[in-house]
Chains A and B, each alone.
Chain A
Amino acid sequence: KAGVTQTPRYLIKTRGQQVTLSCSPISGHRSVSWYQQTPGQGLQFLFEYFSETQRNKGNFPGRFSGRQFSNSRSEMNVSTLELGDSALYLCASSLGQSQAPTEAFFGQGTRLTVV
């Protein structure tokens, strides 16, 4: 069974640009969550999508957005990039059933560098 796949693995962007990151979850998983990891702030939750609907949202500005497609693949977009957006962005997939919580499986991440 294939794991969670994130593309691309590495990105270098310039301040002010926008970027789109992609995540393909494990087959059969309907929940996709996104996290930002930085040395200073650790792992911070961005948002979660379940069956194409945003189910949870973290405390990030509106420049960070996401969506989920009918095949459960998800994308996140960051507009007007700032230097502080440089981070490892991790995607996690799970079955997503709230009343029967299950573990989340993570991709290898996309390393975004903003210059």
Chain B
Amino acid sequence: GDSVTQMEGPVTLSEEAFLTINCTYTATGYPSLFWYVQYPGEGLQLLLKATKADDKGSNKGFEATYRKETTSFHLEKGSVQVSDSAVYFCALLPYNQGGKLIFGQGTELSVKP
């Protein structure tokens, strides 16, 4: 079945460091891909999305490119801030199967000043 695999955390970085969180997926057809972020005590916030191969999603300095050949959707940011500390979830939405999102296990990011 469809699945998402993320790199394990926690990831600890210094402020202004470069961030990469790896995400690979297994799916039939053409899923849509998403990154969500969860701050402590809150729900999930949509960070960015991509709906077809080679699409690049971007928001708040974060970017991810939908790579069908490597079935990947890695999250990157050039310079992280303390306020980026949160848990990041990669997710896929299978095509033509309604609204059922499949999530990776989440990667906790901690940014130190």
**Would you list which residues of chain B between 72 and 93 have a CB under 8 Å from chain A?**
89, 93
- Residues on the B chain within 8 Å of A56, using CB: 97-100
Instruction: Please give the number of chain A residues whose Cβ is less than 8 angstroms from any Cβ of chain B in the complex.
Output: 27
Asked whether any CB of chain B lies closer than 8 Å to the CB of A108, the reply is yes
Asked whether any CB of chain B lies closer than 8 Å to the CB of A64, the reply is no
Q: Which of A12-20, A65-73, A76-84, A95-103 contacts B (4 or more CB under 8 A)?
A: A95-103
Partner of A42, one of B42, B96, B106: B106
Q: C-beta contact mask, A77-115 vs B, less than 8 Å → 1, else 0?
A: 000000000000010101010110101111111000000
Nearest-neighbour CB distance to chain B for A26, whole angstroms, equals 12
- Residues on the A chain within 8 Å of B104, using CB: 42
Asked whether any CB of chain A lies closer than 8 Å to the CB of B61, the reply is no
Instruction: Please give the number of chain B residues whose Cβ is less than 8 angstroms from any Cβ of chain A in the complex.
Output: 24
Asked whether any CB of chain B lies closer than 8 Å to the CB of A11, the reply is no
Asked whether any CB of chain A lies closer than 8 Å to the CB of B113, the reply is no
Structural contact, B98 and A43, CB atoms closer than 8 A: no
Asked whether any CB of chain A lies closer than 8 Å to the CB of B44, the reply is yes
Partner of A31, one of B43, B96, B99: B99
Asked whether any CB of chain B lies closer than 8 Å to the CB of A22, the reply is no
Binding site for B on A (CB under 8 A): 4, 6, 31, 33, 35, 42-43, 45, 48, 50, 55-56, 58, 90, 92, 94, 96, 98-99, 101, 103-109
Binding site for A on B (CB under 8 A): 32, 34, 36, 42-46, 49, 51, 89, 93, 95-106
